[in-house]
A and B are shown apart, each in its own frame.
Chain A
Amino acid sequence: MMDRDPIDAYLDRLVEVLHGPGHEVRRALTESEDHLREAEAAELAAGKKSEEAALAAIARFGTPEEVARRYDLMRGLATPGQILAQAIMSLALVGSIILISIGFSGIVAAGGAAALGPKFIAGDQPGISYTPERCADFRSFHPEASTCEEAAVAHHLDETVGYRLTAGVLGLILLGVWWLTWRGARNRFGPRTVPSSFVPIATTASFAAASVVLGFQGTGQWLTSGVETGAGYMLSAAAVSLVATVVFGAWMVRALRSPAR
């Protein structure tokens, strides 16, 4: 037994993907519900059970995305302003996802430093030396450090983790603003011009490229200079990028298979 009426769930999804003025959306919903209920009644009369009848009616009706795409085609093209707004919204979503992933890499960097030592993330390259003034600066941040090098590593680690976490928080704020804007003004963006597959493709491509570049750089640094020379700085970011590539890659495949891409 299902907890929720499938037709209600379908209509909830349909209202999320329909664009256009309120009265058109309301009429589309009313007609869709009327049709689905009548189709459900016909399936029941043909001998199907309640849930089967509702699901059969939905299957005959088409996916919400497919139906919404036909309404978009019916209304014609979006205005240049709507196209620009859609492009900005899509790029803002991609940006927020990337910033949040940078925040995650801060957490991974902190974990890597705890597990393998701070030099794994923030160790300096061999041969680096600091002026007495710079050393004093590091020591002012970390008076507990016994050497200038130790103070420098602790300071680099603070910056690495701190900046990445700040990026993550900014990403969450941007995502919140994006969501509120989308929710409040969805109908003003007009017929969809930017394909729904754009965001998963852009994020997957970005994360895949970051995985390869950061992974090679970090591994190369590890192999040539050792584990305590900051190889984890790149590798922590590469690890998060790799996981994100898999997650957003799955979303991309699903979006490309959807008839309303």
Chain B
Amino acid sequence: MTERIHGHLDLLILSVVSTGPKHGYAIISELSKMSGGRFELPEGTVYPALHRLERRGLLESFWAEGHTRRRRVYRLTDEGRSAREQERSAWKEFASGVESVLGWA
């Protein structure tokens, strides 16, 4: 399950961050909450994905002062927003194809 989630993690993260800038802990908590607890994966493995998306220019990040510590906050770039839309359309098409096949089987 963990590897399957990692295969779609980029789209999931982009979707969570599309609702507004968030730090890593908030992104992971929301991912878990929005999936109804289905997407439980080692939380530390989400940060490398955030860094990868930033390297690809889909996210940007900055340090913000928290209550006790400074923390890295991530937000979607314009490129990230359009990548999310493309990925979401591709996923819907794929899921619809799978459902059609499963519905007939």
> What is A's interface to B at a CB cutoff of 8 Å?
24, 27-28, 30-35, 37-39, 60-63, 66-67, 70-71, 73-74
Contact = CB atoms under 8 A, between A and B. Distances in A.
Contact of B24 (A35, A63, A71): A35
A74 B55 CA distance: 10
B69 A60 contact: no
A182 B83 CA distance: 40
Given A34-B71, A74-B52, A62 B43 contact: yes
Given A39-B25, A73-B48, A74-B49, A67 B72 contact: no
A35 B52 contact: no
A34 B25 contact: yes
Contact of A61 (B44, B66, B72): B44
Contacts of B25: 34-35, 38-39
Given A27-B72, A74-B51, A74-B52, A34 B23 contact: yes
A70 B45 contact: yes
A185 B47 CA distance: 24
Contacts of B20: none
B7 interface: no
B21 to A, nearest CB: 15
Interface of B: 23-25, 28, 42-45, 47-49, 51-52, 55, 66, 68-72
Contacts of A39: 25, 43
A62 B42 contact: yes
B72 A71 contact: no
A70 B24 contact: no
A60 B47 CA distance: 13
A64 B66 CA distance: 25
Nearest to A28: B47
10 contacts: A34-B23, A39-B25, A39-B43, A60-B43, A61-B42, A66-B42, A66-B45, A70-B47, A73-B48, A74-B49
A32 B47 CA distance: 8
B49 A32 contact: no
Given A61-B44, A71-B48, 11 more contacts: A24-B51, A28-B47, A31-B71, A32-B47, A33-B69, A35-B24, A35-B25, A37-B69, A62-B44, A66-B45, A67-B45
